[in-house]
Amino acid sequence: MSKRAINFSAGPATLPVQVLEEARRDLVDYQGSGMSVMEMSHRSPEYDAIHRGTSDVIRTLMRVPESHAILFLQGGASQQFSMVPMNLMHPGRRADYVVTGVWSKKAVKEAQREGAVRVAATTEDESFSRIPAASELDLDSGADYVHITTNNTIAGSQWWTTPDTGSVPLVADMSSDIMSHPVPTERFGLIYAGAQKNLGPAGVTIVIADKELLERAPSTLPTMLQYRTFAEKDSLFNTPPCWSIYVVGLVCRWVASQGGLVAMERSNRAKAGLIYDLFDTGDFYRGTVASESRSIMNIPFRLPNEELEKRFVAESKAAGMTNLKGHRSVGGIRASVYNAMPRSGVEALVDFMREFERAHG
């Protein structure tokens, strides 16, 4: 097999090599069907089993209660920034948003087109270096919903408690930490996540939502922008992104084979801890997020100067580690270490970091 890069991309991101190999094995002839999943009718019994299989394994892993539907949509998490307010802002047309990073801001911008948005808390004036404490949330009990971003892919912070929003539904963008650790799924009115960070290839967006909440949507909405359309037809109203749904199923079964979300959290914490230890035991690498808000998925950091950061990116690339350059809006370095990043990949990065510090520190 050709050599695989140690890929720290924030998304699309590295996938378990076992999943890629399984997809390759079945690529041309899916389990004796004589065709690829890419070539199958989405109405065929073979595809139906794949579709249900992916939904079932998500339900099991995330303990999704029967009150909640699991939907497969397109348009990425970005389309959810609009679909959430279009469907859920009714009749109050007001919502609370907790702004913890660039993606939350984008969600606010789209929601403002649909109704009145209140910022219930923000840490923007602290460069999004932490998640606000529960006591800082100024929640409106009459809001149609409260929106949070559970993991801030660019800032590198993550919510470690699920806020109590009383009877107001909680909506979460989990694009970059879905299935990274167990969450009380039943406490969320709606969860959405683009697949391409922690779940599989781009092209499918997973939505997990309270079925009753989905009934709120005004029927004047375009058919394809109503959650109800997808809920009523098991996400088979039109052609779904079959291949992406298939690979998400393989990734979820891989997660299950590793021991599920409890085991994922244990391994993610151990991997991230190897990098955070370098911040806590020296001053060459400087983390940008308060300890209690640190993400176990995306780890941004700075070096003593930008010249060294450029060298770090170039030399790490030469050593087989890709996509460590920080997001263009914040600079520095970012290591994205999703579920599928093997511990050996993080160990290679940490060895490289120690070596780089010895040479340049």
What radius of gyration, in Å, describes the C-alpha atoms of the chain? 21
Q: Does residue number 241 form part of the binding site for ligand PLP (CB under 6 A)?
A: no
How many Å apart are CA 177 and CA 173, to the nearest integer? 9
* Residues that contact ligand PLP, how many (by CB under 6 A): 12
Smaller CB separation from ligand PLP, 50 or 107: 107
Nearer to ligand PLP, 78 or 258 (CB): 78
CA distances (Å), 161 to each of 40, 134, 151, 349, in order? Answer: 42, 9, 12, 29
Pick 11 or 345: Cβ nearer ligand PLP: 11
Question: Pick from 156, 169, 194, 200: which binds ligand PLP (CB under 6 A)?
Answer: 194
Phi, psi (degrees; rounded to nearest 5) at 284: -75, -45
* Angle formed at CA 188 by CA 272 and CA 113, multiple of 5 degrees: 100
Q: Which of 259, 298, 256, 301 is nearest to 282 (CA)?
A: 301
Q: Is 103 in the site for ligand PLP (CB under 6 A)?
A: yes
335 binds ligand PLP (CB under 6 A): no
Cα 271 from chain centroid? Answer: 18
C-alpha to C-alpha distance for 175 and 77, rounded to whole angstroms: 7
Minimum distance from CB of 335 to ligand PLP (Å)? 15
**Residue 197 falls in the annotated catalytic set:** yes
The span of 90-98, 168-176, 237-245, 283-291 binding ligand PLP (CB under 6 A) equals 168-176
Neighbours of 154 (CB within 10 A): 19
Minimum distance of ligand PLP from residue 72's CB (angstroms): 13
Q: Taking CA 293 as the corner, what is the angle to CA 288 and CA 296, rounded to the nearest 5 degrees?
A: 85
Q: Is 110 in the site for ligand PLP (CB under 6 A)?
A: no
Site string for ligand PLP, 196-225 (x = CB under 6 A): -x----------------------------
For the segment 11-50, give every residue that binds ligand PLP (CB under 6 A).
Answer: 11
Q: What are the residues binding ligand PLP (CB under 6 A)? A: 11, 76-78, 103, 149, 153, 173, 175-176, 194, 197
